[in-house]
Chains A and B, each alone.
Chain A
Amino acid sequence: MTQISQRGKPAILICSEPFAMLAKGQARIDGVPNLAMVQIDHPLGGMNSAIVHERVEQATPQVLAHLRSMFAL
């Protein structure tokens, strides 16, 4: 995601909360300290579709907020 952002393309990283610190640190190291980031509850892997939908509902407003900010909507 940092490489996409470095190419000037809009990029939003979605990660579960326990991995946020690692993700922020890595984005900083990769030269993209302000990488747009969306946090959702952990875990995501191996969950049934009802829980995946919950994660989508968590992520969607955050993604939209980032998009509004990126494109001044």
Chain B
Amino acid sequence: MTQEIEAYLQGGSMTVDAPEDIEEALAYSMSQGWGDGLPIIPPTPQRVERMLAYWDRPWNESAGVFAPRDAQILPVQVAANAVMAGCKPAYFPLVMLIIQAMCEAPFNLRGVQSTTHPCAPLAIFNGPIGRELGINSGHNAFGPGCQANATIGRAVRLAMVNIAGAVPGVGDMATMGAPGKYSFVVAENDACSPWEPLHVERGYDPGVTTVTVVAAEAPFNVNDHFSKDAAGLLKMIAGTIASTGANNWYYESNAVVALSPEHAKTFADAGLTKSQVQQLLFESSTIALGDLSTENIEERFRKRDPARFANAPLDTRLTIVQNPADLIVIVLGGLGKHSMYLPTFGATRAVTRALKLSNGRTADSIEDFRAAKR
């Protein structure tokens, strides 16, 4: 297959004589505008072929259209970016799964890619294959130290830039950007959750591997070491959500609350289900219309939705999402009493997608992809 890939690449003038030295390779990739600033592994045809060993569809069969450039999502090109990012070949189906989930219409990838807002695609994995590949769901889940979390998300970002055209300052106009634009991948810590995992809540069987993509901001911490009951903890989390800067006040979208296992236990010990926690947070995390500036009230509410807001008093309450279930609650992280709140881009909805083989069956193990390839 390597010869086929080489012929394809050479036919499209996609091969270069890049330096073998790792430092020179980094300098070369940056000079070509390919990189994210970190060292890359040069994507030789042999390395790309090893990546594609875990893809049971043709390497040149498009998996969709990638905004904003509306480029075809060719596995061979995504595989090259996965090599550059440092992915193990077994991670490749998850890279493709995230990209395909992002390309579903409700996610609004075109907007997510080009906005001035600092959103990045947060990928939340559920199910057995995240565990099989060791995606970190525990201590430092949003932080460094795990190859799967670091490189799967990095491969997605590199593909977003190199294939989809989200070049900073050209196709990606983020005012500030966010650290999650380097990589933003976790698995829910369902082993430490008192409730059903996210993908079950969203209609999937527990044994199915899924990703849920959310165009999220950087996580905002909720430190609460002292509340002894659910009411106190609820007040602390709701107070964190009830800040004026989020896009969510202006759009119908999702927001995410990542509860540490200890905080989730506090709620569960009070007899609360996840949907009850969502309901309580929805009701208690409101802000008043008058908390916003006069101009924002006028432009964002009175002019845009005069039926509801033209004469609404300043003590009218605004909710962070439209329905309690739109507040995505997951359990994440290790020991300690820190939870996190993540607003979103707003003009976007979370998308959950199952990992399936080309025959339509859900994969029980990542090795199913390699076996199906043979």
Contacts and interface: CB of A to CB of B under 8 A. Distances in A.
Q: How large is the interface on B (under 10, 10 to 19, 20 to 34, 35 or more residues)?
A: 10 to 19
A73 interface: no
Interface string A34-73: 0000000000001000000000000000000000000000
Contacts of B114: 22, 26
Contacts of B173: 18-19, 22
A29 interface: yes
B295 A26 contact: no
B205 interface: no
A4 interface: no
B280 to A, nearest CB: 36
A21 B70 contact: no
B165 to A, nearest CB: 7
A25 interface: yes
Nearest first, the 8 A-B pairs at minimum CB distance are A29-B70, A21-B170, A22-B114, A22-B173, A26-B68, A22-B171, A29-B69, A19-B173
B295 A22 contact: no
Interface in B100-122: 110, 114
Interface in B65-118: 68-70, 110, 114
Interface in B266-294: none
Nearest to B110: A26
B165 A25 contact: yes
Nearest to B170: A21
Interface string A11-22: 000000011011
Contacts of A18: 173
A26 B114 CA distance: 10
- Main DSSP-derived SS at the B contact region: loop
Contacts of A46: 295
Contacts of B68: 22, 25-26, 29
Nearest to A30: B70
Contacts of B110: 26
A46 B165 CA distance: 29
A21 B70 CA distance: 16
A1 B305 CA distance: 22
B65 to A, nearest CB: 10
Nearest to B113: A22
A22 B70 contact: no
A1 B295 CA distance: 26
Given A25-B68, A25-B165, A29-B70, 14 more contacts: A18-B173, A19-B173, A22-B114, A22-B170, A22-B171, A25-B69, A25-B170, A25-B171, A26-B68, A26-B110, A26-B114, A29-B68, A29-B69, A46-B295
Contacts of A25: 68-69, 165, 170-171
Interface string B292-311: 00010000000000000000
A19 B170 CA distance: 8
Contacts of B295: 46
Contacts of A22: 68, 114, 170-171, 173
Nearest to B296: A46
6 contacts: A22-B170, A22-B173, A25-B68, A26-B68, A26-B114, A29-B68
Contacts of B69: 25, 29
A46 B171 CA distance: 23
A18 B68 CA distance: 17
A45 to B, nearest CB: 9
Nearest to B71: A29
Nearest to B293: A46
Nearest to B114: A22
Interface in B119-175: 165, 170-171, 173
Nearest to A21: B170
B257 to A, nearest CB: 30
